[in-house]
A and B are shown apart, each in its own frame.
Chain A
Amino acid sequence: MKAFLNIVSRDLHLAFRQKSDLTMAVLFFILTAMLFPFGLGPEPNLLARIAPGIIWVTALLAVLLSLERLFLADYEDGSLEQLILSSTSLEVAVLAKVFAHWLTTGLPLILAAPLIALLFNMDSDAMTILLIAMILGTPSLSLIGAIAATLTLGARRGGVLIPLLVLPLYIPTLIFGVGAIDAAMNSLEAGAVIANARPHLLLLGAILLVSLLITPLAGAAALRQSVE
């Protein structure tokens, strides 16, 4: 546990020293999402209808942008070798690095999401579900993305490979994330919002649990392979 917190605090420390890394994903998210109202025209009903899809797709792309730097810097400067040789279990180290990645990428996206939701004329019930869905969904995006980030370490132009590996795996999160908000928007009675969105949220939770289990194992194996 101490090793876990050590790595998290180191990565956060590094991220705060290089603020461009920290703000890039969330700025990308806000700016890209803001382009859609300009492109589609100011029609409140249409915007509210497509908002869940746009928010999730842009959030997903923002996470994708930040994945390459998750392990690449450590790989290139030799820190990864030292990390593997250190007494910390590599599985714990992977989980710690992914958690730090989520804190610097996923969490800012969640904080920025209500702003985008307002721009798209989303009602307050749907916004609540959006936040719950993002809290369950964005950690999965970091976790699944980390597997691809570790697998592409040795490869030349690994950054181009990451989207190819990751995007298909992001589809379930996207479907249930959007589904939850759609269900909330389509519910007729005010009290049924949570009940309608519940199955989608449960499935998002299931994806999170499965990726929490797989990522440390797969990530650690890929990291060991990358330094051979």
Chain B
Amino acid sequence: MGSSLFQGEDLTCIRGGRTVFLGLNFNLAQGQALILEGPNGSGKSSLIRMLSGLVRPKLGKLVWQDQDATREPEIFQRHIHYIGHRNAIKPVLTVLENLAYWSGKKKDDPSLDDALDHFRMLPLKHTPANLLSSGQSRRLTLSRLLASERSVWLLDEPSVGLDVASVALLEDVIKTHRSKGGAIIFATHSPINVENPNKLNLQDYSPLYNKKLLAVENEEDSWI
């Protein structure tokens, strides 16, 4: 596999006074797919938000291509595309206008049509987004991945609301992205098939599920 792209060392996330996970390490190389596993509340979304730079790690280090980016998320933010639970779609704009705005391209850019076509959204190009079904909205959001051309994709439950055929489209797009040297990190509860994925189980790092960590956490509290 390719060289290391994105690394995390000893990451700790504390939200609202509760430790979500601690001592987490990961390594993402070019062309790799990292699947985040774990039960509800084990910190999958928190980790993805941390890797997007929205949430700062309490402890630990984020390294982007051998450069310490813990304090400057701008270093890797230019290379990632984050898709969260919410679709960031404006209901009064059309499908094409929504896509054009977030990819920073002109509406007549042919790459936008290609992106929509990949997710079978081209016939709905001029439809106002408030008429889309939830699955169609999700497909519009996913087509942004293709239009924005970033090297690392961070996907939080990307397949929510998608039918079987659309999940297959997503798998296809992921495969192409990896073959071009892109990497992907995603959390999902419904199966998305990718070739030889790396897996990270958040349960091992969450004090909520791993009782051994509870002791560590209490020890740290006594220091503070």
Give me the interface of A with B, judged by CB distance under 8 Å.
Answer: 6, 10, 13-14, 17-18, 76-79, 81-82, 84-87, 227-228
Confirm or deny: B126 has a beta carbon within 8 angstroms of a beta carbon on chain A. Answer: no
Cross-chain pairs A/B with CB under 8 angstroms, 14 sampled: A6-B101, A13-B97, A14-B90, A77-B86, A77-B87, A78-B85, A81-B84, A82-B82, A84-B54, A85-B77, A85-B82, A86-B104, A87-B77, A227-B54
Q: Apart from A79-B88, A87-B77, list 8 A-B contacts with CB within 8 A.
A: A10-B101, A13-B97, A14-B90, A17-B92, A78-B88, A81-B52, A81-B84, A228-B56
- Minimum CB–CB distance from A53 to chain B (whole Å) comes to 37
Residue of B nearest to A227 (CB): B54
Residue of B nearest to A73 (CB): B90
CA distance A84 to B77 in the complex (A): 10
In the A-B complex, the 10 residue pairs with the closest CB atoms = A78-B86, A17-B92, A78-B88, A79-B88, A82-B88, A227-B54, A228-B55, A85-B77, A18-B92, A85-B82
CA distance A78 to B157 in the complex (A): 15
Confirm or deny: B78 has a beta carbon within 8 angstroms of a beta carbon on chain A. Answer: yes
CA distance A57 to B80 in the complex (A): 47
Confirm or deny: B162 has a beta carbon within 8 angstroms of a beta carbon on chain A. Answer: no
By DSSP majority rule, is chain B's interface helix, strand, loop, or mixed?
loop
Given the known interface contacts A14-B90, A14-B92, the answer about A78 and B84 at a Cβ–Cβ threshold of 8 Å is: yes
Q: Are A14 and B93 in contact (CB under 8 A)?
A: yes
Q: What residues of A have a CB within 8 angstroms of the CB of B93 in the complex?
A: 13-14, 17
Q: Are B90 and A85 in contact (CB under 8 A)?
A: no
Given the known interface contacts A77-B87, A228-B54, the answer about A82 and B92 at a Cβ–Cβ threshold of 8 Å is: no
Q: What residues of B have a CB within 8 angstroms of the CB of A13 in the complex?
A: 93, 97
Give me the interface of B with A, judged by CB distance under 8 Å.
Answer: 15, 52-56, 77-78, 80, 82, 84-90, 92-93, 97, 101-102, 104
Pick from B52, B85, B87, B92: contact of A85, CB below 8 A: B52
CA distance A14 to B104 in the complex (A): 17
Q: Are B90 and A77 in contact (CB under 8 A)?
A: yes
Given the known interface contacts A10-B101, A13-B93, A18-B92, the answer about A78 and B54 at a Cβ–Cβ threshold of 8 Å is: no
Q: Are A81 and B82 in contact (CB under 8 A)?
A: yes
Q: What residues of A have a CB within 8 angstroms of the CB of B80 in the complex?
A: 85
Q: What residues of A have a CB within 8 angstroms of the CB of B78 in the complex?
A: 87
CA distance A10 to B220 in the complex (A): 47
Q: What residues of B have a CB within 8 angstroms of the CB of A87 in the complex?
A: 77-78
- Minimum CB–CB distance from B75 to chain A (whole Å) comes to 12
Q: What residues of B have a CB within 8 angstroms of the CB of A79 in the complex?
A: 88, 90
Counting chain A CB atoms within 10 Å of each CB, the highest count among B82, B87, B90 belongs to: B90
- Minimum CB–CB distance from A70 to chain B (whole Å) comes to 15
Q: What residues of A have a CB within 8 angstroms of the CB of B15 in the complex?
A: 228
Q: Are B89 and A77 in contact (CB under 8 A)?
A: yes
Residue of B nearest to A2 (CB): B104
CA distance A87 to B150 in the complex (A): 12
Q: What residues of B have a CB within 8 angstroms of the CB of A84 in the complex?
A: 54
Q: Are B53 and A81 in contact (CB under 8 A)?
A: no
Q: What residues of A have a CB within 8 angstroms of the CB of B88 in the complex?
A: 77-79, 81-82
Q: What residues of A have a CB within 8 angstroms of the CB of B56 in the complex?
A: 228
Q: What residues of B have a CB within 8 angstroms of the CB of A17 in the complex?
A: 92-93
Q: What residues of A have a CB within 8 angstroms of the CB of B90 in the complex?
A: 14, 77, 79
Counting chain B CB atoms within 10 Å of each CB, the highest count among A14, A17, A77, A82 belongs to: A82
- Minimum CB–CB distance from A76 to chain B (whole Å) comes to 8
CA distance A227 to B82 in the complex (A): 14
- Minimum CB–CB distance from B2 to chain A (whole Å) comes to 24
- Minimum CB–CB distance from B152 to chain A (whole Å) comes to 12
CA distance A76 to B104 in the complex (A): 21
CA distance A208 to B20 in the complex (A): 43
CA distance A151 to B125 in the complex (A): 36
- Minimum CB–CB distance from B123 to chain A (whole Å) comes to 22
CA distance A87 to B86 in the complex (A): 20
Q: What residues of B have a CB within 8 angstroms of the CB of A227 in the complex?
A: 54
Residue of A nearest to B100 (CB): A10
Q: What residues of A have a CB within 8 angstroms of the CB of B86 in the complex?
A: 76-78, 81
